[in-house]
Structure 1
Amino acid sequence: MSLYTTISLRKFIWPFRMALLDQFTIKNFGTLKYFLGIEVARSPRGIVLNQRKYVLDILTDTGLEATRPSLTSIKQHHQLGRLLSPAAVDVSAYRRLVGRLLYLTMTRPDITYVVNVLSQAMQAPTKAHEVTTIRILRYLKSTPGHGLFFPASTSLSHTAYCDADWSGCPLTRRSTIAYYFG
């Protein structure tokens, strides 16, 4: 940030803070380091948001901290949507784990697709879905500190990525499309 931006931000924040102090009791805890399970690391290059401790807690709770890591989070050309025969799976444990993985997708866009596929099977998960959740956890073990990086330098250019898989959904044979703007 430039000096001008810092001064103008202070001019805005100080009256706002004083107005809040008039109405509420506020404590200043200093620089943000950890909030709602998200670790905030600052450097001159930018800010990194990750959920390393949350990943390690999930691995500990599931008993998979000693498992071998995986390089990918899902098999290529998976057939999870086509499985129609449910096997004996603890549905409540599956839902709880997928819910925790959904919260993790805030800082881990690399597992968003897999967690989305698994969350579509919340009503009747199969053994293949359970195996895939274990594979995600093995992948997370290999990359616990990954997260989002926001650079300090600002540019006015944006990058967009798009991918399409024609007739990619195994259930509806519809195209699946994904896009990302950064």
Structure 2
Amino acid sequence: MKKYEYRQSNSDHTLFLKKRNGKITCLIIYVDDMIITGDDEKEISQLKRNLFKEFEMKDLGALKYLLGIEVKRSKQGIFINQRKYVLDILAETGMIDCEPADTPMVQNHGLQIREGAKRADRGKYQRLVGKLIYLSHTRPDLAYAVGVVSQFMHAPQEEH
């Protein structure tokens, strides 16, 4: 990317930026996926040509779904959600028919590690909490509950 005069972000090393004539082009990479965006259509086209020369890749068009996040565009703006991601988590945990709650956890929950309590499957618990941490990016209202349950990753019990 440096060869094409892009600057790597200090805060996110997978983000590359190029400012030209008061416009900006952004490229962000996640494993084998990338998003190219910005307001410099000429630079975006040139970047795609350069990348196609160097790598075997496909242009999938406008971003619709990436890493569990749905992206919708309208005249009012760009909207993101994780509806499908949430439904997948609910299906995986057998909670697809659960009732919604305004507050997923009370503040004085009393959760702790109890001597002799029945243990939960540690790997399954850790995977689920990881998914919930990722979900909290678009659902900050879940952050408190996710923070609480993440405290028990090393020794999860059924109550957790």
Same fold (TM over 0.5): yes
Q: Compared with structure 1, are the counterparts of its residues 87 and 11 closer, same or farther at alpha carbon in structure 2 (3 Å cutoff)? A: same
The alignment covers a number of residue pairs equal to 125
| Contact 2:69-2:80 at 8 Å conserved across structures | yes
Classify the secondary structure of the residue corresponding to 1:64.
Answer: coil
* More helix per residue: 1
How far off its partner does 1:25 sit?
2.7
Name the amino acid aligned to 2:118: A
1:58 aligns with 2:111: no
Q: Does 1:77 align with 2:108?
A: yes
Structure with the higher fraction of residues in strand conformation? 2
Tell me which moved more, 47-56 or 9-18. Answer: 9-18
Change (3 A) 1:10 1:32: same
Q: Which runs of 5+ in 2 are unaligned?
A: 1-21, 25-37
- Residue equivalent to 2:132: 101
How far 1:118 sits from its partner (Å)?
1.0
Structure 2 CA distance for aligned equivalents of residues 49 and 86 of structure 1: 43
Q: Distance in 2 between matches of 1:85 and 1:40?
A: 45
Q: Which residue of 2 aligns with 1:125?
A: 156
Matching residue of 1:89: 119
Work out the CA distance in 1 between the residues paired with 2:104 and 2:41: 44
Q: Is the alpha carbon distance of 1:55 and 1:8 closer, same or farther for their aligned partners in structure 2, counting shifts above 3 Å?
A: closer
Q: Which runs of 5 or more structure 1 residues have no equivalent in the other structure?
A: 130-182
Identical-pair percentage: 46
- What amino acid is the match of 1:27? K
- After TM superposition, the score normalised by the length of structure 2 is 0.66
Aligned-partner SS, 2:87:
helix
8 Å contact from structure 1 (residues 51, 104) kept in 2: yes
Ranges of 4+ aligned residues in structure 1 off by more than 3 Å? 4-8, 82-86
CA contact (8 A) 1:101 1:115 kept: yes
